[in-house]
Chains A and B, each alone.
Chain A
Amino acid sequence: MMLAAASEVNATAETIASFLPAAAIGIPFAGSVAAFLFGRRAEKLRNACAALAALLTLAAVLCLYPLVVRGQVTWEVAGVLQSGLFFRVDFYSFVFAALMSFIWFLATLHAAFYMAHEHAQTRFFVFLLATLASCLGVVLAGDLFTLFVFFELMTLLSYVLVIHEETKDAMHAGAVMLYLGVAGGLCLLLGILLLYAGIGTLEIKPLQELIAASALNPYVVMLLFVIGFGVKAGMIPLHIWLPKAHPVAPSPASALLSALMIKTGAYGIFRVVGMIFTPAAGAGDGDAAAVHAALEMLPARQAGYVLIWLGIITMFAGALMALLSTAAKKILAYSSVSQMGYILMGIGVAAYLGTEGAMGFAGALYHIINHAFFKAGFFLMVGTIYMVTHELDITVARGMLKKVPFVAIVFLIGFAGIGGIPGFNGYVSKTLLHHAIVEAAEHSHSMPLFLAEKIFTVTSAMTLCYFTRLFRGLFLGDIPDRFAKKSFCYPWPVYAVLGVFGTVILAIGLFPHFLLKRAVIPAAQGFMYNHHALEHLQEINVWNWHDVQGILVVLALAAILYLVLDRSGFFALNPPGWLSVEYLFYRPAVRLLQTACTAGAGFDSLINGICLQVYRLGRRVCLLVASLDASLNEAYRRGGGAVRTLAERTGQLDGALNQVYKKSGGAVRRLAGSTEQVDNALNRAYIKSGGAVRRLADHTERLDNSLNRAYTKSGGAVRYLAGHTEQLDTALNRAYEKSGGAAKGLVRKTADFDELLDAAYEQTGKRSRRLWDRLRGQPSDWNIKNLNFDALLVALMLGLLLFIIIYYIRLQ
């Protein structure tokens, strides 16, 4: 019958189309919207609506059970985001979905009372339900694309839950979580893109054959996936957001974050390393040797080995930090880191052992279930205390055993569970994990893995130690006065929720094989584990002396460790800040980023500056040209001025000349005028003198006439008179002689004047002649050398001629 069950698991059964996966995601989304709508009007209605939505979601998920037993449930929402959303639910997904919706329902119920005195309750419930939807989306997704969509949504939505208190711490924690989440999401996206570009499909199923045939580097892709999911899973060194974020969130949210949401990281890593990177035909059939050889070479094997160590480091460091913390929720958060280490180790072993890795698979999955229950329980328990005390530091809030004995009892049950005490749930999963690591060590005969097994044991002891400390701090001792008088009364649903957690932990612990056979082993369907390993798992019985002995060793170790640490004051140790991963890695990284951004800004302003400088330079050149132009203008202007001045001066000169000419003209005219006057006067003088002469001649004529008349009148007496006349004639002759002498004198005087004029002309002529002579120079100075030279030349010529003549004469 067992064998039949095993073979049934491995035969990839039928594919059933059902809208239930979509419904399981849609219901909480719808509930979220409804809670928002009711929020302001009726608080009770809103709370009821939230709880109802969570319950309906649980119902929808549980409805999947009969289907996933038969095979895979698929549902496609075509076209959304173009690629379409694709859901495929196998049993493995179903286990996660059921776990989530169940615990979410319990936490929502608890939150209805926890949140009663908080602010912004509507916001809390809206995002609580939306986060449930996205968490379910992650685990129900049938391809990595859909998974990524919901994964990113979950990161963003859960942020609001973390920072609900809006204190400074909360904001800081939220920011760290958000930025790391976004960065992790981008790594994840890069991995998904590479995978899709390489093999052309993103379905979540064994794809190793395709990957091997493609040009993909499987290690790079797996690394990206492990980083992306590892951030969410709280894997060291990507865990730093977790111990900050989980304590500051309201307790119901912390419970869900710590118990469930970080499991999506583990889920993703498992799906990638444990499923996608495994061969589809590796189910142990066919030629065993060949299959074995192929599996030895599987990249996932190496990844598994790395994961084992990441898990070991995470579990140990988480436990160590939990030992050093005092705030209850911080201890729980570090405890979550540590427990995730167990789970990662289990996943690592499963991948490392390939087809033989069923033990690791079972251990990891079982521990996921167990951890979900006790960690959610723990957070709700301390939340219940916090509802009254508003203080959770174990050095302050003490002695709660007397006040809330019921919580203390449930806490003890959870304590036993996480400590792995037989009879409680942690026992079975830790035992399986222990088997797994031992198997891995034996299989590979590697010393480091034996060491890993020892660390595993020590960490289990440390887990007991820090929970002892937490229990002792919180529940034992004296109640501080400030809490003594407070009433620790809770409504019954709070007790009921806590009771359910206690019951489940106990039930699983008492009947471990039920869950193993009904949930864990069926979940292996679709994975590559071979019949043999699954059968071994079927037949395993944790109730044997060997395993109980193992836990006794752990208990003894824990007791010694606790005493030693308590005495040595180790718990009061405050690890130096510089030792933290945050200080060593994240701060420098952030600083580097800041520097890069500042450098970028500097570079940008440099470019800007260069451009401005070029512009300024251009402007200066333009100004230079302009000033050159201006100076040219100036020069032209000045030159023009000079020319104008010159012209003006010339004009003035011209005017002056004109003036001079005009003046000199006037003088000449005046001179001419006076000459004319002289002339006129002379004319007049001539005319006058002419008149006198005519008058004289007239007088003479009249005298002649009177004389003629006298001659005619006296004939006879003429002779008598002749004597008288002769006398008169002589007297007249004398008078004529006298006037002739006067004329001669005048003529002489005129001649004298003429001579005088001649002398004057002579003088001026001499003066001008002298000037002329001066200009011509001395005739004797002229060409005296040339004359000599000419003479020489002529002489020479003559000589030559003579010579020629003589020569010719001699010749003849």
Chain B
Amino acid sequence: MDKVTDFLPVWIVALPLVMTFVILAVERRSEKLRNVLVVAAAAVTFLSVAALYPHVIGGEIIRLQLFSLLPNLVVSFRVDVLSFSLSLLASFVWLLVTVYSLEYMRHEHGCNRYYPILIATLASCMGVFLAGDFLTLFVFFELMSLISYILVVHEETLEALRAGYKYLILTIIGGLALFFGIIVTFELGGSVSLESTPLIREPSPLALLAFLAYLIGFGMKAGMFPLHIWLPDAHPVAPSPASALLSGIMLKTGAYGLLRVIFHVFGSKLLLETGWTMLLSILAIISILLGSAVALTQEDLKRRLAYSSIGQMGYILLGMTVLNERALLGDVFHIFSHAFMKSTLFLAAGAIILQTGKRKIKELAGVGRQMPATMLAFSLAAISMMGIPPLSGFLSKWALSLGALDAGKTYYVVVLLVSSLLNGLYYLPIIISAFFGKTEGEEGHGPARFNEVPPKMLVPVVLLALTTFLFGVLPWNVPFDLSQMTAEFLLRGGF
């Protein structure tokens, strides 16, 4: 292994972190330079992650130990196929969202605060995915949670502040629970590194307690019932690009953490013996059904999307409790596809809000004729969300369902399909009214007022929407291959 790739993980985390301060220093002087630097930081991060591809595809695990805090407590980085998949996904979506932000945020206040925070969050997000032990992960996890608070409250309305406060409180609760779990793991396993797995080999009340603590800590982030309550408040109030990242990427850190907990702390064998994942699966099923059902009753577009995220994260949480290869494949692939779909949806919603000022679903009639490209992207993502072929949402649903059936859990499939139906019931009316609906008093078709957003915003939206299509149809499907590798890798025990 050559030295450069050895230090690439640190570089990936450090670069945006340093850039944050550079941007802070530069932004007073030149907005243009700031914008260039922001995009460059996101782009270089993405490329750096992508540069790891050949190593990861070769089954290599890059390890780097920085320094040790205490004996057996080392701050370290580690890139395996799961870390790589998620960091690749995150940095890709981040890049597109950053480009989108340039235009969207032009109409907002506080850009000089927004951009450095955006990049700092990217750094901490990368840190979460690339951490080599739970302590490092915890540090970056908390960092990310706290920094993203600023993104949530960006609008500074009363509503936003309130939602942000709720988010903050739950983040702290989650962080404390997580910390407890890590301490117990260290006590029982003697280490919190991802290298020696599983860390806990014997079932004990303390181990169960740790499992519950992890469940609270990561489940809170993943929007798991009943800790989801911050999500439908926080995601809609944030500026749309931030919502896209919160819903599309940052929720996934919770799922990522739980995957690590299931396969690195406890190991699938122990969990299968004790059946502790039953709790997670029950909560996931409630999340799925509740999220989908409540989304149906929401009037606000972004709020509906946020509830939909709860349901979709439920798919991911449910998938990881099945503990077989096919379900895991579907699970990781759904992390990908949900990130693509939900970012598309939030970015498209942002474009609509920016261009027409409409937030309520009732008002969206005819938007599809004004903004055909945006709305087509929205439709593509929404139909993918319903799991209709040939889009990526179908692939993940297919794999998840087959995995559940392999494990003999038919009712999981029924839950997934009922949720798909509900998805249809709350997404299709939006699409229908956008393209075919008539606003009050409109007679027939007026000349379609073409009112599309500028290309800087349109390109990321359309690109993301295309990914949901291409990564469904294409035989050459990087996310799918990575998911396949990850599933095998995790079931092997993380080596």
Interface residues of A (CB under 8 A from B): 78-84, 119-120, 148-149, 152-153, 156, 163, 166, 171, 174-175, 178-179, 182-183, 185-186, 189-190, 193-194, 196-197, 593, 596-601, 603-604, 607-608, 611, 615
A596, B225: Cα distance in complex, Å: 17
A166-B436, A197-B406 given as contacts; is B297 within 8 A of A598 (CB)? yes
Which 4 A-B pairs have CB atoms at the shortest separation, nearest pair first? A79-B475, A600-B293, A197-B405, A149-B389
Chain A residues near B444 (CB-CB < 8 A): 119
A343, B79: Cα distance in complex, Å: 60
**Chain B 440-472, CB within 8 Å of chain A: the 1/0 string?**
000011000000000000000000000000001
Does B40 sit within 8 A of A, measured CB to CB?
no
- Minimum C-beta distance from B247 to chain A (A): 17
B417 to A604, Cβ gap below 8 A? no
B428 to A178, Cβ gap below 8 A? yes
B389 to A81, Cβ gap below 8 A? yes
B480 to A600, Cβ gap below 8 A? no
Does B272 sit within 8 A of A, measured CB to CB?
no
B293 to A82, Cβ gap below 8 A? no
Task: Pick the interface stretch among B4-12, B189-197, B394-402.
Answer: B394-402
B294 to A604, Cβ gap below 8 A? yes
Does B344 sit within 8 A of A, measured CB to CB?
no
B410 to A194, Cβ gap below 8 A? yes
B383 to A156, Cβ gap below 8 A? yes
Could you write out 14 A-B pairs with CB less than 8 Å apart?
A: A79-B474, A79-B475, A80-B473, A80-B475, A149-B390, A166-B436, A171-B437, A182-B386, A182-B428, A186-B421, A194-B405, A596-B293, A600-B290, A607-B229
A119-B445, A171-B432, A197-B405 given as contacts; is B413 within 8 A of A190 (CB)? yes
- Minimum C-beta distance from B357 to chain A (A): 25
Does B477 sit within 8 A of A, measured CB to CB?
yes
Chain B residues near A174 (CB-CB < 8 A): 432
Chain A residues near B402 (CB-CB < 8 A): 193, 196-197
Of the candidates B389, B395, B432, B438, which one forms a contact with A148 in the assembled complex, judged by CB atoms under 8 Å apart? B389
- Minimum C-beta distance from A120 to chain B (A): 8
B472 to A81, Cβ gap below 8 A? yes
Does B270 sit within 8 A of A, measured CB to CB?
no
Chain A residues near B414 (CB-CB < 8 A): 190
B405 to A82, Cβ gap below 8 A? no
Interface residues of B (CB under 8 A from A): 169, 225-226, 229, 289-290, 293-294, 296-297, 383, 386, 388-390, 394-395, 398, 401-402, 405-406, 410, 413-414, 417, 420-422, 424-425, 428-429, 432, 436-438, 444-445, 472-477, 480
B438 to A166, Cβ gap below 8 A? yes
A186 to B473, Cβ gap below 8 A? no
* Chain B residue with Cβ nearest A165: B436
A163, B417: Cα distance in complex, Å: 26
Chain B residues near A78 (CB-CB < 8 A): 475
A80, B390: Cα distance in complex, Å: 9
A178-B428, A601-B297 given as contacts; is B388 within 8 A of A156 (CB)? yes
B421 to A183, Cβ gap below 8 A? yes
Chain A residues near B424 (CB-CB < 8 A): 178-179, 182
Of the candidates B386, B394, B406, which one forms a contact with A81 in the assembled complex, judged by CB atoms under 8 Å apart? B394
A190, B444: Cα distance in complex, Å: 41
A546, B401: Cα distance in complex, Å: 54
Q: Besides the contacts A79-B476, A178-B432, A193-B402, what 15 more A-B pairs have beta carbons closer than 8 Å? A: A80-B475, A81-B390, A81-B473, A120-B445, A156-B383, A182-B421, A189-B401, A190-B413, A193-B401, A194-B405, A197-B406, A597-B297, A600-B290, A601-B294, A607-B229
Chain B residues near A190 (CB-CB < 8 A): 413-414, 417
A118, B185: Cα distance in complex, Å: 70
A193-B405, A194-B405 given as contacts; is B388 within 8 A of A82 (CB)? no
A50, B56: Cα distance in complex, Å: 48
* Chain B residue with Cβ nearest A185: B388
A82-B477, A152-B389, A179-B424 given as contacts; is B297 within 8 A of A615 (CB)? no
A178, B389: Cα distance in complex, Å: 15
A632, B98: Cα distance in complex, Å: 54
Chain A residues near B422 (CB-CB < 8 A): 597
Chain A residues near B432 (CB-CB < 8 A): 163, 171, 174-175, 178
Chain B residues near A163 (CB-CB < 8 A): 432, 436
Chain A residues near B389 (CB-CB < 8 A): 81, 148-149, 152-153
Chain B residues near A600 (CB-CB < 8 A): 289-290, 293-294, 297
* Chain A residue with Cβ nearest B227: A611
Residue among B169, B395, B406, B425 having the largest count of chain A Cβ atoms under 10 Å: B425
A506, B169: Cα distance in complex, Å: 78
A597 to B436, Cβ gap below 8 A? no
Chain B residues near A79 (CB-CB < 8 A): 474-476
* Chain A residue with Cβ nearest B473: A80
* Chain B residue with Cβ nearest A164: B436
A178-B428, A601-B297 given as contacts; is B421 within 8 A of A82 (CB)? no
Residue among B225, B386, B389, B414 having the largest count of chain A Cβ atoms under 10 Å: B389
- Minimum C-beta distance from A507 to chain B (A): 39
B229 to A608, Cβ gap below 8 A? yes
* Chain A residue with Cβ nearest B417: A186
- Minimum C-beta distance from A115 to chain B (A): 15
Residue among B225, B422, B436 having the largest count of chain A Cβ atoms under 10 Å: B436
* Chain B residue with Cβ nearest A84: B475
A707, B401: Cα distance in complex, Å: 166
* Chain A residue with Cβ nearest B390: A81
Chain A residues near B437 (CB-CB < 8 A): 171
Chain B residues near A611 (CB-CB < 8 A): 226, 229
Residue among B225, B398, B420, B472 having the largest count of chain A Cβ atoms under 10 Å: B398
Chain A residues near B290 (CB-CB < 8 A): 600, 603-604
- Minimum C-beta distance from A144 to chain B (A): 12
B293 to A601, Cβ gap below 8 A? yes
A612, B392: Cα distance in complex, Å: 38
- Minimum C-beta distance from B432 to chain A (A): 7
* Chain A residue with Cβ nearest B477: A82
